[in-house]
Homo-oligomer: A and B are copies of this chain.
């Protein structure tokens, strides 16, 4: 079962009594061609709604105009707003620029879907939605010399290996946000996070540290607890910190934040009265939470579009920004001011 064949460049050329080359040139705009014939060709193409065959073009140009987007398979089980938003933005942006996006699901070590997609040369490049300290996929791409872009910065050891490394100003944002929320009170503060293997969390922590330094808050007195990956571990950690007198909780992501709120409320603490909470990542959920949570906002879709755009420009041998850096918004709400 195959799709019925459609017009070819030859059909157009024959109808017009010109050569295929002329038609090809009229379409691509490359090479000399008179305005008159170009228009004649354009008209004929429109009339018949002729569209060049992508496979033939790919073969001739050694380019597919396809991108692979690597998504973590965790996404299946649980919604990850960042992944969902960036995926859509990338599909949109790629489409605008004439590219298609293929999805390759991966779990840590198993990137067989991506590998095969690369082996068969079905894509011109790859976009990674996460960056981690030791990334087998990034290494694969580097080893095979495949152009790739990342959402989020790569670890230092892979510096310069990606064609495009788009990021939000995580450090600057977390620095400014930390200063804003910490300045008001001297209550003891802790930072709660999950996986420091994610580069984004490393950057966020650096921003926080810089703020502490500037505010002369000694780091020894500000516990930093990672590995909070479920409600139980969150409860344990938070209760221990409460016993130590901690009253302000800076959460490195929205999930940790939601859990922390749950635990604090479960312990009968009122927010922001008895304890304060803030998040280094914002979501609708945090905005409509009770009380609304102060958070740092990064526009995921904007990041994705920038990365995709610059990457495609690079693939097209046009000028591009290899390190687009996007801003942030500080959103002070009731949970911590």
Contacts and interface: CB of A to CB of B under 8 A. Distances in A.
Interface of A: 1-6, 49, 51-56, 58-59, 62-64, 66, 69, 73, 75-76, 79, 81, 84-85, 87-89, 91-92, 95, 100-105, 112-113, 116-117, 119-122, 124, 145-147, 163, 301, 314-317
29 contacts: A1-B147, A1-B317, A2-B62, A2-B124, A3-B147, A4-B145, A5-B62, A6-B121, A51-B119, A51-B121, A53-B120, A54-B122, A55-B55, A55-B64, A55-B121, A56-B59, A58-B58, A59-B59, A66-B122, A69-B103, A73-B88, A79-B79, A79-B84, A84-B84, A91-B103, A100-B102, A100-B117, A100-B122, A101-B103
A76 B100 contact: no
A332 B95 CA distance: 45
Nearest to A112: B95
A116 B103 contact: no
Contacts of A73: 88
How many copies of this chain does one complex carry?
Answer: 2
Given A52-B120, A53-B59, A76-B85, 7 more contacts: A54-B120, A66-B102, A73-B88, A84-B84, A88-B105, A92-B113, A101-B102
B76 A121 contact: no
A243 B88 CA distance: 43
A146 B6 CA distance: 12
A8 B84 CA distance: 38
Contacts of A76: 84-85, 88-89, 301
Contacts of A64: 54-55
A120 B52 CA distance: 6
Contacts of A314: 1
Given A3-B124, A101-B103, A59 B55 contact: yes
Contacts of A49: 119
